[in-house]
Structure 1
Amino acid sequence: MQDIIQTPSPFFLLSVAALSIVALLLLIIKCRVHAFISLIFVSFFTAVIAGIPSEEVVPTLMSGFGGTLASVALLVGLGAMIGKLLEVSGGAQVLADKLIGKFGAKKSPLALGVTSLIFGFPIFFDAGLIVMMPIIFSVANRFGGSLLIYALPAAGAFAVMHAFVPPHPGPVAAAGFLGADIGLLLMVGLLVAVPTWYLGSYLFGVYSGHKFHISLSNILHSTESNLQPIKLPRFATVMSILILPMLLIFLDTGLNTLTAAGIIDGSNSLTRVLRMMGKTPIALLITLLVCLFVFSKDYGMKKLDSLCSESLAPICGVILITGAGGMYGGVLRTSGIGDALAGLFTDTGMPVIVAAFVIATCLRVAQGSATVALTTTAALISPMVASTVGLSSLDLCFIVIAIAGGATVLSHFNDSGFWLVSRLLEMDEKTTLRTWTVMETLLGSIAFLIVLVLSFVF
């Protein structure tokens, strides 16, 4: 099955995409139809109206659903088990105590955000957020107030690192298409990511927390278990467990970056094995096994097995709704809506950095995936970049960041990350649009404005 079955007029495809979004808004918010049902219903009719052949409609739906589950289900399941063990053992409490001791109670959201920025350097958004959730819940449980005050700064930190900073796949792939220097992009990405996070995530997260009260979620922080920690683990033990997946994932992302730069031979057997160990599901599996080994001495495997089972029950809804969001995004990709919209802006004559942001934004809104929007836009504008005279190495990095900014904004129903955040924090869809979607739009727009200004200065 090819990605684009047929491509009617761009205006027709734009109308289909707009109507499908309106239909989702009405079904979920106005009619109160469950998000899982609404997404499947709208995905089906969007596929039919957009012109996907009848024999390909169901395979397209299943492909989008299954592809998302393949990338999300293992991460959420393994991460939920790790989170439960850290919670019940007192590990989350230990780390929260240390953070608060260093930063103070009033700056605990800042502490969580800074920690997430560090963890987010090699670890992907969804995996990082899942691993940090028990610490976020522990801090929120201690100090009270809206969960958003603590969760949005951390989630935003993982989002900016994933979008703007190598060795994450989006910026690395875009750099490859445009010929940008990876080392220079790393420096520029970090310089842009930190102020972008502070303005668009930390400050907005604190503001949102005072405006919207979200009670502590029971997805990972459960009160069902009355088990009290036999003895609190050492801080070094907790940090080692949290850093372990980060180090393992860096084996994959770091070695991939070195291979792309031609520094090492990617076909080497040792390199391939290390990269396999660094794949996110394997890294989380290894971390979970280490958790079981460490805590089995105090709690026994029978109790740990019970805790792992308990951790899986609440996340079924998270996984299914996230998969349905991937189904909707897959339909929009397969129908050709994203490519048709991007094509409208390719030859408009606007500055290349502005065109990069606009095209990435269209792709992001049309099909949901930030990584797909980022890499596809880079491929689309690479001829434009190649034909533009006078672009420096810095300019190429600025264009990559502009693309990443466009690929970050306006996260909504077709983005699996939207549903992951919504269900982990147990927010309704309207509140998620007013918080998470606005934050993502702020992050992408601020990053774009920063590099746009820098492109005129340098």
Structure 2
Amino acid sequence: MVIEFAHSPLVTFILGLAAVVLMLVVLDLPAFVGLIISAFVVGLINTVFVPDFGPSEAAGRVATEFGDGMAGIGIPILMAAIIGKAMLESGAAQRIVRGFQGVLGSGNSDIALWGSSTVLAIPVFFDSVFYLMAPLARSMRARVGRDYTLFIVVVGAGAATAHVFVPPTPGPLAVAEEIGADLGMTIAVGVVTAVPAALMAGIVYGRWLNKRLDIPLRDAMATSTDELEELANRKTGNLPGVLESAAPVLLAVALVGSYTFVDSFAGVIPQLAALEPYVVFLGDKNVALTIAAMAAAWTFYRHSDMSTDAWTEEMTEALKSGGNIAAITAAGGAYGALLAASGVGDYITGALSSVGIPLLVSAWLIAAIVRVAQGSATAAMLTAAGIMAPQVPELSVHPAFLVMVIGAGGNICSWYNDSGFWLVKEIGGLTQAETLKTWTVLTTIISVTGLVTTLVVSSAVQLI
């Protein structure tokens, strides 16, 4: 028997939040176990309030959502584990770090990582960027002996900012299409919005937090801190060359970026259409990261004195670590999906529809609340875009500014129900508390800074 109650989605959200806090914070269960149990709890609550959501659905839906999550991130995370292990232990990551320091100086290591992650995230998904940049942050920490808090914040801030503001990243691209915003104008406004947001969250907040929170370098991605420190002290001549070291990153970015470029500009440049069948395959993140992983593994093999069996065993250890990360990430996604099934998104948007606040602020609020409630930044952005699309004729500014506030709202407060939270925690080697202080706070700073920047710039444009 289903209980009809107008505020049932809110009740489900509160009980779901209590469940995940109990499992992960109070009982301190392993993240995967706690998240799966919390998802089952939310599923059972849904059987009380959601029509056609029976006990079998409560059980089966968790498994389905977990499987869908693994389908999306399983191969990339496993291949990223190989990339991370191979780049770290071959010395490739250390060689790239030294290249950064040679160009910018050791005092600007954070700027080098921040700029690299920001640029890489424009054509590449956030998760792929973090997979590629986390080994560099860890190697930078091993090299300089401090500032890991700063390095992990700048990498996360750069990747997260471009992910929600700058097309052809899929999120803002889909929102721009939904509301009919010109792509060129959206890219231009996206860059203007992204730069201050990334600076505030990465450099300003990162340096402030770094003075107050010292995160140690822990064993992660199947690599120990002792191994990283040994590589940090190795002579540069005994490390792989710069081009070979950077090959996994360059390959992944080039392949994924080729698909994004062809997909975005085939209508403008007809000749590109002939390349589409090839880049659809090679530019798929599963294929691209597999190719990048093979390049990294080959470098590791060439620059180690291991036997083939020992090398294979090292790669297997990396896959074991990657499997745990993939399971936790997919479980977080399943927990968020079960919350979404409660109808919390529609509940929030309905509650805000009658509130008389400015259109841009209203769009930010809708995206922000949906994001906090159900976890996915992309889902929150698309939900808000669908609601706000009919309101576009009422805008007094270019629709590109609406894309920005929706992206800003969709990025706020990444926490337990966001798979990205667990990805950052596990790959970065952080505790839950450290992830909240770094990743959760920086996503919120990006959100608020993006909103303020958009309101200021849109007002200034109106005055011109």
Among 14, 18, 22, the alignment partner of 1:22 is 18
What are the residue-to-residue correspondences of 1:261-340 with 2, within 5 Å?
Answer: 262-263=267-268, 268=273, 270-299=275-304, 301-340=308-347
1:295 positional shift: 5.0
For 1:216-227, list aligned pairs within 5 A.
216-220=217-221, 221-222=223-224
Deviates more, 1:80-89 or 1:366-375: 80-89
CA distance in 1, matches of 2:368, 2:227: 44
Name the SS of the counterpart of 2:211 in structure 1.
helix
Aligned match of 2:40 = 44
Q: Whole-Å Cα distance in 2 between the matches of residues 428 and 295 of structure 1?
A: 29
Is 1:32 matched with 2:28?
yes
- Hey, what does 2:379 align to over in structure 1? 372
Of 139-148 and 351-360, deviating more is 139-148
Q: Secondary structure at the match of 1:211?
A: coil
Identify which of 432, 444, 449 aligns with 2:447.
Answer: 444
Matches within 5 A, 1:47-86: 47-50=43-46, 51=50, 52-86=53-87
What is the Cα deviation at residue 294 of structure 1?
Answer: 4.7
2: CA distance, partners of 1:457 / 1:279: 40
Change (3 A) 1:435 1:290: closer
In structure 2, relative to structure 1, the CA distance for the partners of 1:423 and 1:245 (3 Å cut) is same
8 Å Cα contact 1:44-1:57 kept in structure 2:
yes
Q: Distance between the aligned counterparts of 1:265 and 1:379, measured in 2?
A: 31
Please point out which of 399, 404, 426 is paired with 1:401.
404
**Comparing 444-453 and 111-120, the one that deviates more:** 111-120
- Deviations along 1:102-124, one digit per CA (max 9) or x if unpaired, are 22222211211111112222111
Q: Shift of the alpha carbon at 1:287?
A: 1.4
User: Structure 1 276/266 Cα, relative in aligned 2: closer, same or farther at 3 Å?
Assistant: farther
Distance 1:205 1:369 in 2: 24
Change (3 A) 1:439 1:10: farther
> Structure 1: which 5+ runs fail to align?
1-5
User: Which digits, 9 at most, give the CA deviation of each residue in 1:401-442, with x for residues without a partner?
Assistant: 100010000111110001111122232223322221111101
Determine helix, strand or coil for the equivalent of 1:145.
coil
Counterpart of 1:171 in structure 2 is 172
CA spacing shift, 1:309–1:137, aligned 2, 3 Å: same
Give distance in 2, aligned partners of 1:428 and 1:416: 15
Q: Classify 1:266/1:352 alpha carbon distance in 2 versus 1 (closer, same or farther; 3 Å).
A: farther
In the alignment, the residues of structure 2 paired with residue 288 and residue 206 of structure 1 have an alpha-carbon distance, to the nearest angstrom, of: 32
Does residue 128 of structure 1 match 2:124? no
Q: What TM-score, normalized to structure 2?
A: 0.90
Tell which deviates more after alignment, 85-94 or 341-350: 341-350
What is the deviation of 1:354?
Answer: 1.0
The counterpart of 2:348, out of the listed 341, 345, 350, is 341
Residue 207 (structure 2) aligns with: 206
Q: Which residue of 2 aligns with 1:258?
A: 265
Determine the structure 1 residue equivalent to 2:425.
422
Tell me: CA distance 1:99–1:8, structure 2 relative to 1, closer, same or farther (3 Å).
farther
Identity over aligned residues, as a percent?
A: 30
Q: Distance in 2 between matches of 1:123 and 1:333?
A: 26
Letter in 2 for 1:237: E
Q: State the alpha-carbon separation in 1 of the partners of residues 344 and 200 from structure 2.
A: 32
CA distance 1:8–1:316, change in 2 (3 Å): farther
Q: CA deviation at 1:97?
A: 0.8
1:156 aligns with 2:157: yes
The code of the aligned residue for 2:275 comes to: L
Could you give the per-residue CA deviations for residues 8-63 of structure 1, whole angstroms, max 9, x where no partner exists? 55522112202221332233223323332222222112122133322311221012
Name the counterpart of 2:388.
381
In structure 2, the CA distance between the partners of 1:102 and 1:34, relative to structure 1 (3 Å rule), is same
Secondary structure (helix, strand or coil) at the match of 1:233 reads coil
Amino acid at match of 2:293: L
**Residues 8 and 114 from structure 1, CA distance in 2 versus in 1: closer, same or farther, beyond 3 angstroms?**
farther
User: Could you tell me how far apart the structure 1 residues matched to 2:185 and 2:301 are?
Assistant: 45
| Deviations 1:367-418 (CA, angstroms, capped at 9, x unpaired) | 11101111121111111224x1x544xx211110100010000111110001
1:61–1:331 CA contact under 8 A, matched in 2: yes
Decide whether the 8 Å contact of 2:263 with 2:276 is kept in 1: no
| Residues 1:416 and 1:94: Cα distance change in structure 2 (over 3 Å) | same
Q: Does structure 2 retain, via aligned residues, the 8 Å contact 1:117–1:157?
A: yes
CA distance, structure 1, for counterparts of residue 451 and residue 326 of structure 2: 32
**Structure 1 residues 332 and 266: alpha-carbon distance in aligned structure 2, compared to 1, 3 A threshold:** farther
- The question of whether the paired residues in 1 share the 8 Å contact of 2:82 and 2:297 is answered with no
Q: Does 1:245 pair with 2:247?
A: no
Aligned counterparts of 2:362 and 2:28: Cα–Cα separation in 1: 38
Any stretches of 5+ residues in structure 2 without a counterpart? none
* TM-score scaled by length of structure 1: 0.91
SS of corresponding position for 1:423: helix
What SS is found at the alignment partner of 1:100?
helix
Say if 1:181 and 1:397, in contact at 8 Å, map to a contact too.
yes
Q: Is the 8 A contact 1:330 1:367 kept in 2?
A: yes
> Once superposed, what is the RMSD of the aligned Cα atoms?
2.4
State the SS of the aligned residue for 2:7: helix
In the comparison of the two structures, how many residue pairs are matched? 447
